[in-house]
């Protein structure tokens, strides 16, 4: 197993590795800008398998199972720009401030990550410079371009959660995640709760905070954009049919919210 201990940041992603940022529908005309921090579970070749078997590298600790299909279909249906990150959160978590210990987790749920043990400062920096920074720089640049062009922008950050965490079953089908925005999350909660078959979490199974999140605080709240996170339970979106159903449902709900925001003059009429 090779580790990125060399300190030369250009060594982390080589010619056989794909770029971290994936874009779908970059010319989309929707006010929704969709992000997906845990879209993929790729590993840079230089990191080998992080010392983990395939069974660990494919489960929820490595990525948000099912969300890639939902995000892609939703982006197309809403005609919304999607910015996603392809590498596993076990390499570096793109929704954690890089200063927190869980940024490059040594343990996730009950799994120790051998390839994340005892990393030199240079190795930590290399992961940030190769994956975290380009992803967030790109989101920042897209938001700045939209603001410059006067394009209304509502940030939606898509995630999925494991149905059972540390032995505890979670009852929610979907949850909204937010902190400071008081405009979008109440509308989202109201419409989701209007769906008769759903158990909806209000800041469940997670709430957004400056300590545990990055995308919403930095790109949404600090810029004053309307924003919300969405968490969908992974067993509901494990296959393509489920992903499509949830994309259809969310597209319908977000379209309805767009109309409401225009009526409330929170978006241009
Ligand atoms: Zn996630």
Strand ranges (DSSP E) for the chain?
Answer: 21-24, 32-36, 81-85, 107-108, 111-112, 154-161, 164-165, 168-169, 174-177, 200-202, 226-233
CA atoms within 13 Å, Cβ hemisphere of 217: 12
Size of the chain, expressed as the number of residues it contains: 269
3-class DSSP state of 97: coil
pLDDT at 6 over 60: no
Q: What's this model's pTM, rounded to 2 decimal places?
A: 0.95
- Tell how far the Cα of 85 is from the centroid of ligand 1, in angstroms: 11
Question: In this predicted structure, what is the pLDDT of residue 269?
Answer: 84
pLDDT in tens, 176-230: 999 999 999 999 999 999 999 999 999 999 999 999 999 999 999 999 999 999 9
Please report which confidence band the pLDDT of residue 4 belongs to, taking 50, 70 and 90 as the band edges. very low
pLDDT at 5 over 70: no
> Which of 9-18, 28-37, 85-94, 109-118 is least confident?
9-18
Taking residues 6-12, report their average pLDDT: 57
Taking residues 64-85, report their average pLDDT: 98
- Tell how far the Cα of 243 is from the centroid of ligand 1, in angstroms: 16
- Tell how far the Cα of 261 is from the centroid of ligand 1, in angstroms: 26
Please report which confidence band the pLDDT of residue 243 belongs to, taking 50, 70 and 90 as the band edges. very high
- Tell how far the Cα of 114 is from the centroid of ligand 1, in angstroms: 22
- Tell how far the Cα of 64 is from the centroid of ligand 1, in angstroms: 5
- Tell how far the Cα of 157 is from the centroid of ligand 1, in angstroms: 9
- Tell how far the Cα of 159 is from the centroid of ligand 1, in angstroms: 4
pLDDT at 7 over 90: no
Residues with CB under 5 A from ligand 1 (ion): 38, 64, 159
């Amino acid at each position: 197993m090779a580790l990125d201990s060399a300190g030369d940041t250009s060594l982390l992603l080589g010619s056989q590795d794909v770029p971290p940022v994936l874009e779908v529908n970059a010319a989309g005309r929707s006010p929704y800008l969709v992000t997906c921090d845990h879209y993929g579970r790729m590993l840079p070749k230089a990191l080998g398998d992080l010392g983990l078997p395939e069974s660990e590298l494919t489960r929820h600790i490595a990525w948000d199972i099912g969300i890639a299909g939902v995000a892609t279909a939703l982006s197309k249906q809403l005609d919304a720009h999607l910015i996603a990150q392809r590498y596993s959160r076990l390499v570096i978590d793109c929704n954690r401030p890089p200063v927190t210990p869980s940024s490059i987790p040594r343990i996730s749920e009950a799994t120790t990550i051998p390839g994340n043990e005892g990393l030199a400062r240079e190795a930590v920096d290399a992961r940030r410079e190769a994956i975290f920074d380009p992803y967030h720089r790109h989101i920042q640049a897209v938001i700045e371009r939209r603001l410059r062009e006067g394009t209304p922008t509502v940030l939606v950050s898509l995630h999925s959660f494991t149905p059972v965490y540390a032995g505890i079953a979670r009852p929610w089908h979907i949850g909204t995640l937010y902190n400071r925005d008081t405009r979008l999350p109440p509308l989202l909660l109201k419409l989701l709760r209007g769906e008769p078959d759903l158990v909806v979490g209000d800041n469940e199974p997670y709430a957004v905070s400056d300590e545990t999140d990055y995308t919403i605080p930095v790109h949404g709240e600090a810029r004053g954009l309307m924003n919300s996170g969405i968490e969908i339970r992974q067993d509901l979106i494990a296959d393509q049919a489920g992903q499509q159903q949830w994309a259809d449902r969310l597209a319908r709900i977000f379209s309805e919210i767009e109309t409401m925001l225009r009526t409330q003059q929170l978006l241009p009429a």
